[in-house]
Amino acid sequence: MSTDEPTDEEVVQTASDAAEGYVFSQYKQSAVRDLDVTVTFEDGVLEVDVYLNAPGGPDEDDPDPERVADDAALVARNAVDELFGE
């Protein structure tokens, strides 16, 4: 069993990739007007903020962008948990 902890850079990259991957699993890339994923990992504390500007909402066929952004942040946190669980 390895005792090597992931580097801060690996944690940030894993979270960012997971969040972006989730967003683009919900929307075609061409439909996303703006996406900003901000990830910080300092002193063992992970912060993930996802801003998404895309079509959708309660009255439209596309998914609600706020929900997708929240879910993307959750997916990012789960990916980091898995990274540490390996």
pLDDT digits (tens, 9 = 90+) for 30-41: 999 999 999 999
The count of residues in the chain is 86
CA distance 54 to 51: 10
- Asked whether the whole model's pTM tops 0.85, one would answer yes
On the question of pLDDT at 83 being above 80, the answer is yes
CA distance 85 to 60: 39
The 3 state secondary structure assigned to 7-66 is CHHHHHHHHHHHHHHHHHHHCCHHHCCEEEEEEEEECCEEEEEEEEECCCCCCCCCCCHH
On the question of pLDDT at 72 being above 50, the answer is yes
CATH 3.20.20.70 correct for 8-85? no
The residue extents of the domains of the chain are: 8-85
Residue 18 contacts residue 37 (beta carbons within 8 Å): no
Residue 77 contacts residue 64 (beta carbons within 8 Å): no
